[in-house]
Amino acid sequence: MLQTFINLVSGLAGGNIAGSVAKQYSPGILISSLCGLVGGGLGGAWIRSFMNSGNNMNAGTILGGIAGSFVSGALLTAIAGFVKSKMPDK
C-alpha cells in the first residue's frame, strides 16, 4: 500500500514537472495530474513486477519505484500534450 502511494505521488510529480517544462506541449494542469497519476501507478506496478520484489520494501525497491513512476508519469503527460498540440483548435 505504501509503495503504491509512493508510486502515485512520484508519477504526479513527474507529470506536473513535464507539463511545466515543455510549455508548448503542456496539456494543462488537470490532464498533467491525471496522466501523472495513471503513468505513475502503471509504471510503478511494472517496475515492481520487473524487479520481482513482491511486497519487499527495501531502498532499491523504493528508489526504483520512484524513478520508474516519475518517468512513466512524465512520459504519459508528454504524449498527451503532444497529441493535444496536434489536434485542430475549435
| pTM (2 d.p.) | 0.83
User: Would you write out the chain's pLDDT as a tens digit for each of its 90 residues?
Assistant: 888 899 999 999 999 999 889 878 788 889 999 999 999 999 888 887 777 655 667 787 788 888 999 999 999 999 999 998 888 876
Q: State residue 71's pLDDT score.
A: 93
Residue 85 Cα to chain centre, angstroms: 20
Tell me how far apart the alpha carbons of residues 70 and 89 are, in angstroms, rounded to a whole number: 30
Q: State residue 28's pLDDT score.
A: 85
Q: State residue 9's pLDDT score.
A: 94
